[in-house]
Amino acid sequence: MDKFVINGGKKLNGSVNVSGAKNATLALLPASLLANGISEFRNTPKLNDVFTMLKLLKQLGAGYTFENGIVTLDTTLVDNFTAPYEHVKKMRASVYVLGPLLARYGEARVSLPGGCAWGPRPVNLHLEGLKRLGAEINLEDGYIIAKSKRLNGGKINFDIPSVGATGNIMMAACLAKGETIINNAAMEPEITNLARYLISMGAKIEGLNSSILHIQGVDFLNPANIDTIPDRIEAGTLLIAGAITKGKVNLTNVDIRHMYSLCEKLEATGVKLSYNSNSVTIDATDSELNSVDVITGPFPGYPTDMQAQWIVYMSVCNGTATITDTIYRDRFTHVPELTRLGADITVKDNSAIVKGTNKLRGAKVMSTDLRASASLVLGGLAAEGTTEVLRIYHLDRGYEGLESKLGQLGASIERVAGSEY
Ligand code: UD1
């Protein structure tokens, strides 16, 4: 298992390009199952999660190439409708094949995802939504068995604006007979990116960027090409890397409209931000960094995927901040590891209370999940001395070439291949 060795305390300075969004790609690729033929996905990030999705689609019968950031997917020979446990346990987003397979082929067998390191992550909203469209759904031997003749449009009201359930139902509804209305739909930019791809395939979807989606089912969809939006979580992580090291970092290939909540919070801490149409610069070189509270929420709220990074940032700011996660109430596995770097954090219910300290100190720390790993890397960049971040395979799921991007900004960070646990 690889690890990162970071010699911290260096101010980051320079410019890097942000990759395509992991969470958009993981929805876009399976959407190609809704049509017969070849689709092209540009600005696709090279990430382990993306390779996991491509392997799953291959197992279903699709062919693909992946070169220069472009995935070409051919769904002509798809003839297998099972997403096995081996895939789904690696990556919950595998459940995105459920809606498309069911809508196009009338059947799907998808392993139940189970929980994850920070608690239960149910798929009840996906299943209830598909049932509303007329699917027959049974759970057998740990698998979701879904069957249907042609799906029918229906009205769906989500109790929670789930990203995955909105994506799955939206994809299925495109080929249903009649109109589907999704109320309290997720408004995350990745969902809008997916909707735009579906529309370019011939789907009839109204209400993009809003919480009510109207989908008129069509008889068939055609393959299409799409540009993946920039990864707002990677961009946010790199902005915090600039802030936490009191550096000056410019990011290109960003869409600032997807990042207002984070940017506002960053500015409130005392850093300077400046924007162009597709770039943002953070300047913390002369800033007094002050603590700012955060409460995560569905888009356009502050993203839960930026919660761990904010906690480590608050660890070096003046004052005390409370960070509350309303999406994943137990998502705090990074806290004991950050404490090893000298952070002063107390978790109470779904909040972390972070007292700023003058200095973090390097230590060996263990990644527990994707965004937790990112927070440990940020801690290592800010800490005095050497930090070793173990088990960075978590990080490789969702950050494309993070060490080379940080290296380009002047960080001392090295990947060491090895077997240390
Ligand atoms: C997606 C993102 C993930 C992000 C999360 C929240 C992808 C591949 N992953 O995950 O990075 O952290 O959105 O922004 O895009 N819930 C239910 N029942 C369901 C589905 C969800 O109760 O059937 C709950 C979840 O437990 C959670 C909340 O709804 O509390 C939001 O989850 P959801 O938006 O579905 O997250 P994912 O789509 O899994």
Q: Which of 116, 174, 263, 317 is catalytic?
A: 116
pLDDT score of 322 more than 70: yes
If you average pLDDT over residues 269-279, what whole number do you get?
A: 95
Q: Ligand 1 pocket, 257 CB below 6 A?
A: no
- Counting ligand 1 atoms within 8 A of each CB, the residue from 121, 194, 369 with the most, and so the one to mutate, is 121
Alpha-carbon gap, residue 254 to 398, rounded angstroms = 16
Alpha-carbon gap, residue 2 to 389, rounded angstroms = 9
Known catalytic residue at 116: yes
Q: What is the pLDDT of residues 294-317, one digit of tens each?
A: 999 999 999 999 999 999 999 999
Q: What is the pLDDT of residues 201-219, one digit of tens each?
A: 999 999 999 999 999 999 9
Q: Give the pTM.
A: 0.97
| pLDDT tier at 114, thresholds 50, 70, 90 | low
- Say how many Å lie between the CA of residue 116 and the centre of ligand 1: 12
Class of residue 246 by CB neighbours under 10 A (exposed 0-12, middle 13-18, buried 19+): middle
Q: Name the strands in the sheet holding 351-355, side by side, starting at the edge strand that comes first in the sequence.
A: 294-295, 320-324, 351-355, 344-348
If you average pLDDT over residues 47-71, what whole number do you get?
A: 97
Determine which residue's CA is closest to atom 38 belonging to ligand 1.
164
Alpha-carbon gap, residue 18 to 229, rounded angstroms = 10
Indicate which atom in ligand 1 lies nearest the CA of residue 233.
11
Buried b (16+ CB within 10 A) or exposed e, 364-387: ebbbbbbbbbbbbbbbbbbbeeeb
In the chain, the percentage of residues whose pLDDT exceeds 70 is: 98
Determine which residue's CA is closest to atom 31 belonging to ligand 1.
162
Q: What is the DSSP letter of 117?
A: T
Q: Ligand 1 pocket, 42 CB below 6 A?
A: no
Q: What is the DSSP letter of 230?
A: B
Q: Ligand 1 pocket, 164 CB below 6 A?
A: yes
Q: Ligand 1 pocket, 26 CB below 6 A?
A: yes
Residue of 88, 110, 111, 92 lying closest to 101 (CA atoms): 110
pLDDT of residue 111: 95
